Amino acid sequence: PALPADLFSFCLTAPLRMALRHSCRNALVHASDDLIDALPGKLSDRRSPLGELHWIFTAVTDAIAWSSLPRSLFRRLFRQDMLLASLFRNFLLAQRVLASCDLAPASCPALPPMHHHPLWDAWDFAAESALCQLVEQQLHQQVQQVRRQQPQHAVRLPGGGCRQPQP
């Protein structure tokens, strides 16, 4: 799949989109960028698909950092300032995405590599589940649309009868 020109910045500024794109690389269901961009809801609404994925991404990256970093560093980077915490969560994603390209981002303070943490599997499962549901909904909508249009394509016969057109 085509990757953004500046992969690191994309991880930091559009983490959910990048995390979904990255998870789709090994998923059973292929999701296009348009499908990912069409996820319904708002980041701030946890009841929406987009908000739920954002909440899961935050929980997973926080848990990865909590289990991998010394407590004092975790508190300083992930609990003192919300903006800083968001950037470092996104940095963990950058570690994961760039590692798949044989690259390693650097930070100050330096963080250990966390791209192989087993909790990333939980994120991949949640992302794949959400995208499968979205694909299923879109297919259902397409089937309903075809069913609504089907009577319009019937061939009218003289005498009031109708038959379905032959392919």
pLDDT bucket at 24, cuts 50 / 70 / 90: confident
Secondary structure (H, E, C), 50-70: HHHHHHHHHHHHHHHHHHHCC
CA distance 58 to 43: 11
pLDDT bucket at 141, cuts 50 / 70 / 90: confident
- pLDDT, tens digit, 9 for 90 and up, residues 106-134: 999 999 999 999 999 999 999 999 888 88
Q: pLDDT averaged over the chain?
A: 86
CA distance 93 to 61: 8
Which stretch of 39-43, 45-49, 115-119, 154-158 has the lowest confidence by average pLDDT? Answer: 154-158
Q: What percent of the chain has pLDDT over 70?
A: 86
Of 12-16, 41-45, 143-147, 157-161, which one has max mean pLDDT? 12-16
Cα 116–4–9 angle (5° rounding)? 70
Which stretch of 1-15, 94-108, 130-144 has the lowest confidence by average pLDDT? Answer: 130-144
Across 141-155, average pLDDT: 69
CA–chain centroid gap for 98, Å, is 17
Give pTM, 2 decimals. Answer: 0.81
Indicate whether 69 pLDDT > 60. Answer: yes
Q: Which pLDDT score, from 0 to 100, does residue 93 have? A: 98
Q: Which pLDDT score, from 0 to 100, does residue 4 have? A: 79
Q: Which pLDDT score, from 0 to 100, does residue 44 have? A: 87
